Amino acid sequence: MAIVAILIGSTLGLVTGLIGFLFLGISLTNAVGLYLLSGVGIGMLTTGYNVALCVLSSRNQATAA
């Protein structure tokens, strides 16, 4: 699941950086920074979401028994 989170964050960060560089006219340095920040942030959010799902799933299994 962590690999999926990294891939999702990386892809969305790349798209965000490219849009900023190509269409909004920001510098290449700022576009790379935007790529890194948004990619890491989205990856962390996705990982947190996956962890929360696992915790809730295991909690539901424990209470069902």
Look at residue 1 and tell me whether its pLDDT is greater than 80.
Answer: no
Q: State the pLDDT at residue 41.
A: 79
Neighbours of 43 (CB within 10 A): 20
This prediction's pTM = 0.57
Look at residue 2 and tell me whether its pLDDT is greater than 70.
Answer: no
Q: State the pLDDT at residue 50.
A: 77
CA angle 22/27/3 to nearest 5° reads 70
pLDDT digits 0-9 by tens, 10-64: 888 888 888 888 888 888 888 888 888 877 777 777 778 878 888 888 777 766 6
